Chain A
C-alpha cells in the first residue's frame, strides 16, 4: 500500500477544504439577488463539474481497458463511476435544497443542469446491477466497459439536449456562472480544486482497498491449494 502518497493526498485535501470554506464564508461577498443562499453555489457547482468529469474519466478508463485488456483499467473505471455516483447524489440533494431555498420547490424542471443530472444518475444507477448480473469476471469487465463508454459519451449529449429543451419562459433558477466578480470567481476556483482533490483522494483510497482485497483473495486461494 502506497501509504505516503495517500497521506499526502488526504492532508492536502483537508487543507484545501479549510481554505475553501474560509473563503466561502469570510471572503466571498454576499450576492444581492439571492443573498446568503447563493453560498450553496460554491458547493453544488464544483460537485457537479467533478461528478461529470468522473463519469467521463470512467469512460476513458473503459476505453483503455478494452484496448489493453489490463484489468487495472477496469478497476479504475469502476471506482471513478462509483465515486461519481456518490458525488452525484450529493449534487442532486444540494441542488434540490438550493431550489427549495430560492424558488420554493424541492424540484424545478427549468434548471437544465439539475434535470440532466437526474437523467444521468438514472442511467448510471444501472451500472452496478449490470455488473452483478454477469458472473464471469472477464465478461463482466468487458460489458461494464462497453456501458461506461456509451454512458460517458451520453453525458455531454444529454446536457446539450436538455439545455436546448429548457423553457425560456422561466429564468434560470440557479443562475449562470458567467460574469462573476473576481472575488467570487477565485473562491469558486478554490472550491473546485478542493472538491476535485476530495474526489481524487477518495478514489485512491477505494482503489487501494480493492487492490488489497484482490491480493488477499489470491493469497488465501493459494493457501487453500497448498493444504
Chain B
C-alpha cells in the first residue's frame, strides 16, 4: 500500500512538475540575489554554510506548501479515508516524496552554489556535506509533512505553513549550518563535527516519532 501511495506521489510530480522546478529555480535565483545583497564574489566557512542552508530551507518551504494542496482541493483525502488502509501510510508516503524532492533540489542547488558563490572548491567538501544534507533533509521532510497537513485545511494555508514550519526547523538550521561550516573553510577545511550530527539525528528521531503519533488525528474527517 505504501509503495502504491509513494508511486502515485512521484508519478504525479513527474507529470505535473509542480514542485521540483519551482524549488530549484528559486534556489538558484536566491544565490544570485545573495551575490548582490552581500556584494561579494565568493563566500566561505560559516557564511557559506549559512547561505546554503537558508536558501535550501526557503526553497523547501515552497515544496511544503504544495504538498497536500492537490489532495485538499480535489478531494483526494476523502478517497484515501474510505480505503481500508492505515492512515500513517499517507504520512510516510508524503514525507518520503518530500524527501525525494529535497534530494533532487539539492542535486541542482548544491552544484549551483559551488559554481556561483562558493569560494573553496566544492569537490573536496562534498563527501563531508552528504551527512548534514541527509540528516537535514530527513528532519525537514518529517516536520514539513506534519506542518503541511496541519496548514492545508485552514484558511490562510500559504501563510500558516511557513510560519509554523520555520521555528520548528530552527534547530535543524543550527545543526546543519554548524555541521557544514568546517567543511567550507577557505583554509584548512575540516570534517563535520560529530556533536552536531548527533543532535540532528536525535531531533529527526524525536520529531519523526511525534509526527507519526499525531498524524492520524489530522485526517479524521
* Residues in chain A within 8 A of chain B (CB atoms): 66, 119-120, 122-123, 126, 129-130, 133-136, 138-139, 142-143, 145-147, 149-151, 153-154, 157-158, 160-162, 164-165
Choose among A120, A130, A164 the residue that contacts B164 (Cβ–Cβ < 8 A).
Answer: A130
Q: When A133-B156, A153-B207 are in contact, do A139 and B146 touch as well, CB less than 8 Å?
A: no
Residues of A within 8 A of B168 (CB): 123, 150-151, 154
Does B167 contact A161, Cβ atoms closer than 8 Å? no
Number of A-B contacts defined by CB within 8 Å? 86
Question: Dominant SS at the A interface?
Answer: helix
Does A120 contact B167, Cβ atoms closer than 8 Å? yes
Q: Which of B157, B196, B202, B210 has the most CB of A within 10 A?
A: B210
Residues of A within 8 A of B164 (CB): 123, 126, 130, 147
Does A153 contact B206, Cβ atoms closer than 8 Å? yes
Choose among B153, B167, B195 the residue that contacts A122 (Cβ–Cβ < 8 A).
Answer: B167
A and B contact pairs by CB, cutoff 8 A, 26 listed:
A66-B214, A119-B170, A126-B160, A126-B163, A126-B164, A130-B150, A130-B160, A130-B164, A134-B153, A138-B221, A146-B146, A146-B217, A147-B164, A150-B146, A150-B214, A157-B202, A157-B203, A157-B206, A158-B167, A158-B170, A158-B171, A161-B170, A161-B174, A162-B171, A164-B174, A165-B174
Q: When A130-B154, A133-B155 are in contact, do A153 and B210 touch as well, CB less than 8 Å?
A: yes
In angstroms, Cα B170 to Cα A158, docked, is: 8
Sorting the interface of chain B by its residue count into under 10, 10 to 19, 20 to 34 or 35 or more gives 20 to 34
In angstroms, Cα B44 to Cα A190, docked, is: 50
In angstroms, Cα B214 to Cα A142, docked, is: 10
